[in-house]
Amino acid sequence: MSHTYSANFVHCVFSTKNRTNSIPAELQQQLWAYLLGVANNLRLRTLAVGGTTNHVHLLLALPTTMAVAETVQKLKANSSRWLGEHGIKFQWQEGYGVFSVSPSLLTTVQAYIRNQEEHHRRRSFEEELRALLDKSGVPYDPERLFAA
């Protein structure tokens, strides 16, 4: 084949250190826009960005040239620095969740990410992450899932 073709869609989730509510509501939309800009600079196609005061969701189309770990590290490092520049003492949790998404489910995942505020009126981040892991068949130790 003379060209490389890819449909590598991932739903990334990462939380603030100890899941503290350290993303101010008044900066959330600016942070989502900033993350979109970082992703664009990395040549990632971003289909959705959203979250709450203690975590972020991104739906990304990853290029074949960038690993998931590198992608998340760059997004977290740049956004953490940006929040610091806005006077927020800030850290992301060390780990993250990343889940593959079928092209047929992109619209569903986009809506899910864009409706995080509404979604979290009924379910905590901890419940949400457990459900994502369970639905994706990712094994985890419940005792260590939220360890620092």
User: Band of the pLDDT at 148, cuts 50, 70, 90?
Assistant: low
pLDDT of the residue at 4: 87
The model carries a pTM of 0.92
| Beta bridge partner(s), residue 99 | 11
Structural domains in the chain, CATH included, are 9-136 (3.30.70.1290)
Hey, what are 123's tokens?
């379910």
67-105: per-residue pLDDT in tens? Answer: 999 999 999 999 999 999 999 999 999 999 999 999 999
Hey, what are 8's tokens?
């590598």
For residues 130 and 122, what is the distance between their CA atoms, to the nearest angstrom? 14
Q: Whole-number mean pLDDT of the chain?
A: 94
Hey, what are 128's tokens?
């949400």
Radius of gyration in angstroms for the set of CA atoms belonging to the chain, rounded to a whole number: 15
Hey, what are 62's tokens?
């990853």
